Structure 1
Amino acid sequence: MANKGSRVERELVKMLWDADCAAMRAPASGGATKKPLPDIIAGNGKIYLAIEVKSTSADHIYINSEKITGLKEFSEIFGAEPYLGAKFKNKKWRFVHLHDLIKTRGENYKVDVDLAFSKGLEFDELIRRDKQVKF
């Protein structure tokens, strides 16, 4: 499972570099440091992103509330825009702003394919290369 997560994180870092954004993975993601770290931080001098990456072959993703709280905290201190980077099997990346995530009864968070593709940004939108009209 961890290998799959690392693979999609590396894929996204490459996409960001190819789009002229400096990007890096934070493989510890808070584990060893006990500090809130996103999976990926990126920027190009105009935009700064903090991204928690999740991938799945299912049609939904659950995210622990501590991950989202840590992502918010890091982003506020760093001055980055926080996003959940969702990679559903055989689908393009989607980047969901934290306020669009669904809060579960257990106080965690969820995003499904429908939400990700209706409210989430495409990669080009995330890096401000393109704007998509949402209805």
Structure 2
Amino acid sequence: MTYMFEYPHYVKVGLPERVERLYEDYSVYSYGEGKHANNLRHGKYFGIPVLFIPGNAGSHEQVRSLASVALRKTIDDETRFHFDFFTVDFSGEYSAIYGGTLEKQSSYLQHCIEGILSLYKGENRPTSVVLVGHSMV
């Protein structure tokens, strides 16, 4: 894990009720730090969506290393774009042992991608999500 520059915030992203019931042990969050998390709390997303997928028995909180560095780079370099980081909580499941778990997680990820894209409004909204997998085996 890397150093965070501000206090981390994990803001739960709501998916359709039927999806929430079907995958009650799973959740998806958006990640932000300090004042940069305010837009997330108000459902305002303007960046390039990135979905962090933790691996076998991993934690959704592992996104903070990548997201914190990316946030600092966009601020320090004054880029014209930024990334909106999202992360999935699979409740620490052991996904490397049983293929059925991977199948369930993959199905949930499809719903997450649809839900993430639905957060963006306007004519320049994204049509895809960058996926980052961590320690899948």
Global fold match (TM > 0.5)? no
- Kindly indicate whether structure 1 or structure 2 has the higher relative contact order, using CA contacts under 8 Å at least 6 residues apart: 2
Q: For the pair shown, which has the larger CA radius of gyration, 1 or 2?
A: 2
TM-score, length-scaled by structure 2: 0.29
TM-score, length-scaled by structure 1: 0.29
